[in-house]
Amino acid sequence: PALLAVLSLAALFGLACGELQADGKVHDLTTGSFEAEIKRHSLVFVEFYAPWCGHCKKLIPEWDELAKVSKDVGIPIAKVDAIAEKTISQSQGVESFPTFKLFAGDPKVAKKYQGQRTSPKMLAWLKVWRGAEVLHTFC
């Protein structure tokens, strides 16, 4: 019983801390979580946005939909407020908003997405990378 209680608390703590997962939700990454969460997953798709950006605001429904439909692909969807998290956005070379990057287990290994900003197009692109064995081409 004591072990079960500890495991239950650990599970609750993990959920409370907002661990990144492919669960149909968009997750916020910060300076405190970015590197660890990127390293914890083989692939993570991240939007770098500015709260005042009109294109970013218009994209919110598409990004939310992508999180829902990409759940089955197993790729977590996240976002970084590039203004509040300036250290991350600078280290990632973010110069315009929104910027999309697919990370492959390391903050230094990423592929920039430059396609259409619709959930079906982004999902199709993610599926290509999920199935690809050529992730070394990110570099």
Residues identified as active-site: 53, 56
114-to-21, 102, 122 alpha-carbon distances in Å: 24, 11, 9
Q: What is the CA radius of gyration of the chain?
A: 16
- Give the count of beta carbons closer than 10 Å to the beta carbon of residue 62: 17
**Cα 109 to Cα 122: distance, rounded to the nearest angstrom:** 19
| Residues 6+ positions from 62 with CB-CB distance below 8 Å | 117, 118, 119, 122
Distance CA 102, CA 111 (A): 5
